[in-house]
A and B are shown apart, each in its own frame.
Chain A
């Protein structure tokens, strides 16, 4: 290891640069990001909305196992639909950039750098989409009960559970978004540049 005398033969791409690149990429491909975000927003809104409603029902009518499991089942379905939507749009979003990935590798990017860019993008879109979806879902859930049960729905016990549901929603959005990106991004990043450059959709 005579690294001290020889210039270190390593390329660099600090996470800060990757994050900046990801943010710019989202901003400039706004429509594409929006398509992905919409599927996240819908899925999470549905999930959080259902959970909010079941929390409120619980505090008004008390526990009913049947109702609880029905609600949970609905929430799961919403997540599966959401996951398929995200998977589809992430797959497209990565695939249409295969040539760009090949180009970046010609400029010195390593597989890990490419993966890092896509992970940041997935996290950002996941968190933003998740946040919007959670708020929308929560408001929708509240709206149904707001006339009759005004005093109940803002009880402190429920406020905590709302916060928890939203946190849950955002976390799920992030996991789905990252999960849907990781495989196509890894696949595209590990292609030989020659294959990536030749790639046409």
Chain B
């Protein structure tokens, strides 16, 4: 089934109690992300980007409000369904890559397919194919520590794509990379979005991300500050 909105949030809030003070990391976010959209969340440090990423990805529980993925309220999912959602529907990319240090690039990419129940031969075949696609065909048996930051992030992208997710969530995917490598990663995400119609959600400070995003949501103190559509930008882009 195809849904118009892949992700919807409704009055989403997350408060942290730190002693006497309440930190409102998110405070009433209403967001609708269309299927196939490339959406970037921008905002200063501490504005709530990572918190929003965690909520949408089903990695943390909101204090208030709801998150719908393909029109399903994820707070209603049981443990099996939630694991399935994380395994099959969503691919995660992190600023710190978060690869399993003792596993090779190939094994890191096959791991999510184990949970998806893909047979061994098929896992290997697919993982090699995806790693080739991200340009790491010659690094299959390297451990993360033996790879550069950009290469590690490409492994992480390959891992996120292993189970053909409909959504890729990325939290500062270029945060630890230099300008050039960052651009490479951004182009890779954009290509994925255009060619495969994967919905992309990135939380970032990286202004390079503006060029490829369909919409940019600026947040501040846990609230939506303003939303810019790509049409505002796209005209300029295509004339260049």
Residues of A within 8 A of B (CB): 9-13, 17, 24-25, 28-29, 99-100, 102-111, 113, 192-195, 197
Contacts and interface: CB of A to CB of B under 8 A. Distances in A.
Contact of A13 (B100, B103, B115, B159): B115
Query: How would you classify the secondary structure of chain A's contact residues: helix, strand, loop or mixed?
Result: helix
A104 B111 contact: yes
A108 B112 contact: yes
Contacts of B80: 9-11, 110
Given A11-B84, A103-B100, A110-B79, 13 more contacts: A11-B87, A24-B103, A103-B99, A104-B100, A104-B111, A106-B98, A107-B111, A107-B112, A108-B112, A108-B116, A113-B115, A193-B54, A194-B54
B51 to A, nearest CB: 8
Contact of A106 (B61, B79, B86, B101): B86
B178 interface: no
| Residue of B54, B79, B87, B116 with most chain A CB atoms under a 10 A cut-off | B87
Contacts of B59: 105-106, 192-194, 197
B117 interface: yes
B43 interface: no
B83 interface: yes
Given A104-B100, A194-B54, A12 B114 contact: yes
B83 A11 contact: yes
Contacts of A12: 114-117
Contacts of B86: 105-108, 193
Nearest to A107: B112
B18 to A, nearest CB: 14
Nearest to B14: A194
27 contacts: A10-B84, A11-B83, A11-B116, A11-B117, A12-B114, A24-B103, A25-B102, A29-B102, A99-B98, A100-B101, A103-B100, A105-B83, A105-B86, A106-B57, A106-B98, A107-B112, A107-B115, A108-B83, A108-B84, A108-B86, A108-B112, A108-B116, A109-B83, A109-B115, A192-B59, A192-B60, A193-B60
Contacts of B99: 103
A10 B87 CA distance: 9
Given A193-B59, A197-B59, A17 B102 contact: no
Interface residues of B, number: 29
B88 interface: yes
Given A24-B102, A100-B100, A106-B92, A195 B115 contact: no
Nearest to A109: B115
B56 to A, nearest CB: 11
B201 interface: no
Given A9-B80, A25-B102, A99-B98, A108 B60 contact: no
Contacts of B116: 11-12, 108
A189 B94 CA distance: 20
B81 interface: yes
Contacts of A193: 54, 59-60, 86
Interface in B53-100: 54, 57, 59-61, 79-81, 83-84, 86-88, 92, 94, 98-100
A6 to B, nearest CB: 11
Contacts of A111: 79
Contacts of A110: 79-80, 83
A7 B155 CA distance: 28
